[in-house]
Amino acid sequence: MIDRLKLILDYYNLTSSNFAEKIDVPRSSISHLLSGRNKPSLDFIIKVDKAFDEVELDWLLYGKGSFPKTISEKPSLFSQKITEVKQEENNFDNQKKSNNFSDGKPRILRKVILLYDDGTFDAFDK
């Protein structure tokens, strides 16, 4: 794990003092870890994982996986939203097939209105 901590320091171009400050631990803790005197605590590992997006927990703990983490390994908020939209599109397509009037004629979408919690809206015409 010492080698992996050194890789993190090199990747982010941090001194041990900067690193300690970023994860909110005493500087002496980093010195003791890098010298091999102490082993990292669970709290330390969690702080590193939270502070650095490119660090994969399996890589940090076991040396498995990759560093830096690739974009596809950790979904961003944007990619999660895209996935949600695609799911909604699929749901809409399925509903569209069954959204017929009682006379069998299909219902045609004319306008979509998005209402936001701040009182604004967007309207989209077909």
pLDDT tens, position by position, 29-50: 888 988 889 898 989 989 998 8
Cβ-based neighbour number of residue 27 at 10 Å: 14
Helices (H) and strands (E) in the chain, counts: 6, 2
> How far apart are the C-alpha atoms of 15 and 30, rounded to whole Å?
10
Residue pLDDT tens, the chain, 126 long = 888 888 888 888 989 899 999 999 998 988 898 888 989 898 998 999 889 888 888 888 888 888 887 654 445 555 566 666 666 666 665 555 555 556 667 777 788 888 888 888 888 887
Radius of gyration of the chain from Cα atoms?
25
* Domains, in order of start, for the chain: 2-73 (1.10.260.40), 77-125 (no CATH)
Predicted TM-score (pTM) above 0.75: no
